[in-house]
Amino acid sequence: MAQPTQSEAKQIVDPGIEKGAAGLTEDRIQAVINHVIQNETGARLKVYVDTCVHCGLCSEACHYYLSHDKDPRYSPVGKVKQTLWEMLRRNGRVSVDFMRRAAEIAHTECNLCKRCAMYCPFGIDIAYLMLVVRRIVHLLGMTPQYIQDTAHSHAAVCNQMWVKPDEWPDTLQWQEEEARGEMPTLRIPLEKEGADIMYSVIGPEPKFQAQLIYQAAVIMNAAGADWTMPATAGWDNSDMAMFTGDNEVMGRIKRDHYETAARLRVKRIVMGECGHAFRSVYDVGNRWLGWRIPPIPIIHAIEFYHELITSGKIRVAKKFQTPVTIHDPCNVVRGGGLHHMARELAHALCEEVVEMYPNCEHNYCCCAGGGVINCGPPWKSKRIEGNRIKADQLADAKIRGAKVLIAPCHNCHSGLEDINHAYGLGMEIKFFGDILYEVMEKPEA
Amino acid sequence: MHTIYEWVAGPLTWIAFLIFFGGLLYRLVRLVTLVRRKEPFIFTYMSLKYGLRSILHWSLPFGTVNWRLHPVLTIVTFAFHICLLAAPIFLMAHAILFKEAWGVGWPSLPDAVADGMTVVVIAGAIFFLVRRIVRPEVRFVTSASDYVLLAIVAAPFVTGFIAYHQFFAYRWMLVAHMVSGQIMLVAIPFTRLAHMLFAPLTRAYMGSEFGGVRRAIDW
């Protein structure tokens, strides 16, 4: 089943990286690197570099390292050596080729999943160090093309997928109309001030996964939730600028999101099944804007569905019969501790739950998150080769009976779909929302 | 010979300890100042409870997934670090020197035990050296400075071992032992050996982030 990884990856040309590299000089590179090191980093970078004893114990944490037959170039510390250590050692005086490789490492060989922080005895945050490299890459204008396009979209229309201001409410009304075929009284309340919940989604949902909005509307209506969705910008909780090192845009779109919720005077923001968006609104955007914790409580779909089931607002008509297994997304599990709730929810919805190992905080990454899948088609096969270990892990769960894989995160979902196909696993991948929608009692059905 | 001994055992030792403690204090003050100036949010997220929780797990042999993944390394690294700290502090000869100089004493280890611990440190250093050369993921990130640091740490134990057993050149070995010990003390605050000071802090911060914000464990 496991396909052999190529020992020498072929040179991948990314138009974004090349365009940026074309106009660079070593002087400019040095100026940018030293600007970032001196003005934008502080104690963490210094202590992490001064404390690392080069022991290599972080290696076993990384799915890239494990998937490439333990090639040391893919170990977490190996990536720091090939990027930041060299930059610091040469006082920022590195070549254009060096930066090309650094951009590739930081953007396509690390998912920022932070598993290595749990394997380093000192707790060195290598994901943070890779983000510093991405920041340098961003300021040099060398960000890979596809993810840069999503960052441009965030900057221009405040969502990830170039959804125009009129297309957004149109899509919601279209889904409302569709869903009324099933539930005649169903509403998707727009701009309802003072509602309990603002429901927010990521750009790809209106763009090409509108059925997820349909399902969420059915769940909300069946539960009798007092909810609303904004008709304006600020509806998108996703944030690729967070992963391109474009902190200014990242902060701006997070501010829009929180301010939209504040304008609607909602008590809390419930979000769809997305991991990186959870990270951006729960942990990153708030910090950039100066809040210790998010100004309005953020509830991930796992928590919300868990609440609906345990409070009895949604009842299960007949449990999901096919055996399932659970993928623990880094951003909601290592980043939000939702693995226990995910399991309780899975057991409440499904007849048989097969555990996949390693699990919970120690789960292997999907290899799509952290903006890696957003670097687009040029990097797709590299991404799939870089996660053979995940295919092995899934195959093991399948042997033990799991046929459906629950992945409560959009990036995980897409990345696992690629792995599923490439390695011929033949599993079906679902969101919790898909299963909840399928098994719940629908009052007016 | 006698004057060299006097000089090394007297003023040089004073200087080494002053640089050691002063250096550690300097690094700590610099770090706290830098955090206040550039990343004050670190204080906001630091949590005593979650920091200590994380340190505790990582301080227990086999207390974390990664320690369990590397059983031999775990045993060696714990034995190495415990002996590295305990042997010099509780060596009878050192305790006597301190009692003679300052009049303060503390319980000490029987010589045979301290001798055994010295062997553990030397064996551990050899293990780390071999691991650095043999394991590709370690070799890849190794530079000359890593070997130098290992030598700095091993030297006082090797010379101390030879001097204690009076294998050869006893007096010279005693001087070499003191000088190498002083080099180690001076090196600690200003090299990656500073992990003695920083490791608990970085671990505590990661533990705080995982416990307080991410509601997850980090071991």
pLDDT for position A355: 97
State the sign of the Cα–Cα–Cα–Cα dihedral A65, A380, A142, A234.
negative
Q: Which chain B residues are within 8 Å of A47, Cβ to Cβ?
A: 31, 198, 201-202
pLDDT bracket for residue B9 (50, 70, 90): confident
Residue at B189 is within a domain: yes
Contact A201, A160 (CB under 8 A): no
Q: Least CA distance to B34: which residue of chain A?
A: A43
* Structure token digits, residue B29: 């003050």
Kindly report, residue by residue over B133-143, the tens digit of the pLDDT.
999 999 999 99
Measuring CA to CA, how many Å separate B213 from each of A102, A121, A293, A378? Answer: 30, 20, 8, 35
For residue A253, how many other CB atoms are within 10 A of its CB? Answer: 27
Residue A4: cis peptide before it, omega within 30 degrees of 0: no
Query: Which B-chain residues 74-133 have CB contacts (< 8 A) with chain A?
Result: none
Closest C-alpha among A205, A204, A194 to residue A266: A194
Phi-psi region of A176 (alpha: psi -120 to 50; beta: other; left: phi over 0): alpha
List A199's β-bridge partners, or say none: A270
* Chain A: closest CA distance from residue B17 (Å): 21
Query: Which B-chain residues 33-62 have CB contacts (< 8 A) with chain A?
Result: 34-35, 37-39, 41-42, 44-45, 54, 58
Alpha-carbon distance of A370 to A103, in angstroms, equals: 14
The CB-side HSE value for B134 (13 A sphere, CA atoms) comes to 6
Q: Please answer yes or no on whether A122 and B198 come within 8 Å at the CB atom.
A: yes
Q: Please answer yes or no on whether A119 and B137 come within 8 Å at the CB atom.
A: no
Phi, psi at residue A300, to the nearest 5°?
-75, 155
Measure the CA dihedral A348/A352/A354/A359, to 10°.
Answer: 0
Of A50, A287, A333, the CB nearest to B194: A50
pLDDT for position A4: 47
Q: Can you give the residue ranges of every domain in chain A?
A: 15-143, 147-310, 324-439
Q: Which chain A residues are within 8 Å of B207, Cβ to Cβ?
A: 123
For residue B97, how many other CB atoms are within 10 A of its CB? Answer: 13
Residues B172, B178, B183, CA angle at the centre, nearest 5°? 120
pLDDT for position A9: 54
pLDDT bracket for residue B175 (50, 70, 90): very high
Closest C-alpha among A137, A337, A153, A56 to residue B135: A56
For residue A418, how many other CB atoms are within 10 A of its CB? Answer: 18
Residue at B219 is within a domain: no
Q: Please answer yes or no on whether B44 and A292 come within 8 Å at the CB atom.
A: yes
Of B34, B70, B141, the CB nearest to A43: B34
Helices (H) and strands (E) in chain A, counts: 23, 8
Alpha-carbon distance of B178 to A355, in angstroms, equals: 57
Please give the average per-residue pLDDT across B29-36, as a whole number.
97
Continuous segment of H or E residues that includes residue B7: helix B2-7
Q: Please answer yes or no on whether B198 and A50 come within 8 Å at the CB atom.
A: yes
Please give the average per-residue pLDDT across B104-111, as a whole number.
91
Q: Which chain B residues are within 8 Å of A289, Cβ to Cβ?
A: none
Alpha-carbon distance of B109 to B89, in angstroms, equals: 9
Alpha-carbon distance of A34 to A381, in angstroms, equals: 34
Q: What share of chain B is helix, strand, coil (3-state, %, to 5)?
A: 85, 0, 15
Alpha-carbon distance of B175 to B160, in angstroms, equals: 10
* Chain B: closest CA distance from residue A66 (Å): 11
* Structure token digits, residue A8: 């020498």
Alpha-carbon distance of B45 to A333, in angstroms, equals: 19
List A324's β-bridge partners, or say none: A353, A404
Q: Please answer yes or no on whether B195 and A51 come within 8 Å at the CB atom.
A: yes
State whether CATH 3.90.1070 applies to domain A324-439.
no
> Domain residues for B153?
2-213
Per DSSP, the residues of B63-113 read: -SHHHHH-HHHHHHHHHHHHHHHHHHHHBHHHHHHHHHHHS-----B-HHH
Contact A144, A383 (CB under 8 A): no
CATH of the domain at B90: 1.20.950
Instruction: Identify the residue whose tokens are 């304008």.
Output: A263
Closest C-alpha among A241, A303, A242 to residue A271: A303
Q: Least CA distance to A360: which residue of chain B?
A: B216
Query: First CA to last CA across chain A, in angstroms?
Result: 43
Q: Which chain A residues are within 8 Å of B53, Cβ to Cβ?
A: none
* Chain B: closest CA distance from residue A65 (Å): 9
The interface pTM score, or ipTM, of the predicted complex is 0.95
Residue at B109 is within a domain: yes
pLDDT for position A267: 98
Of B39, B73, B216, the CB nearest to A334: B216
Can you give the pTM of this predicted structure? 0.95
Please give the average per-residue pLDDT across B57-86, as a whole number.
97
Contact A332, A369 (CB under 8 A): no
The number of domains in chain B is: 1
Q: Please answer yes or no on whether B69 and A81 come within 8 Å at the CB atom.
A: no
Of A47, A56, A339, the CB nearest to B141: A56
Q: Which chain B residues are within 8 Å of A338, Cβ to Cβ?
A: 215
Please give the average per-residue pLDDT across B41-51, as a whole number.
96
Residue at B82 is within a domain: yes
Alpha-carbon distance of A160 to A352, in angstroms, equals: 36
Check CB contact of B194 with chain A, cutoff 8 Å: yes
Alpha-carbon distance of A28 to A308, in angstroms, equals: 55
Continuous segment of H or E residues that includes residue A197: strand A197-200
Residue at B218 is within a domain: no
pLDDT for position B68: 97
Kindly report, residue by residue over A233-247, the tens digit of the pLDDT.
999 999 999 999 999
For residue A39, how many other CB atoms are within 10 A of its CB? Answer: 9
List A227's β-bridge partners, or say none: A197
Alpha-carbon distance of A292 to A283, in angstroms, equals: 9
Per DSSP, the residues of A370-428 read: TTTGGG-GGGHHHHHHTTHHHHHHHHHHHHTT--EEE--SHHHHHHHHHHHHHTT---E
Contact A156, A246 (CB under 8 A): no
pLDDT for position A1: 43
Q: Least CA distance to B63: which residue of chain A?
A: A121
* Structure token digits, residue A319: 């449990």
Q: Please answer yes or no on whether A292 and B45 come within 8 Å at the CB atom.
A: yes
pLDDT for position A269: 98
pLDDT for position A90: 97
Residue at B97 is within a domain: yes
pLDDT tens for chain A, residues 1 to 445: 445 444 455 689 999 999 999 999 999 999 999 999 999 999 999 999 999 999 999 999 999 999 999 999 999 999 999 999 999 999 999 999 999 999 999 999 999 999 999 999 999 999 999 999 999 999 999 999 999 999 999 999 999 999 999 999 999 999 999 999 999 999 999 999 999 999 999 999 999 999 999 999 999 999 999 999 999 999 999 999 999 999 999 999 999 999 999 999 999 999 999 999 999 999 999 999 999 999 999 999 999 999 999 999 999 999 999 999 999 999 999 999 999 999 999 999 999 999 999 999 999 999 999 999 999 999 999 999 999 999 999 999 999 999 999 999 999 999 999 999 999 999 999 999 999 999 999 876 5
Q: Please answer yes or no on whether A77 and B218 come within 8 Å at the CB atom.
A: no
Residues A56, A60, A64, CA angle at the centre, nearest 5°? 105
Phi, psi at residue A354, to the nearest 5°?
-100, 125
Topology (CATH) of A15-143? Fumarate Reductase Iron-sulfur Protein; Chain B, domain 2 (1.10.1060)
Contact A135, A247 (CB under 8 A): yes
Helices (H) and strands (E) in chain B, counts: 12, 0
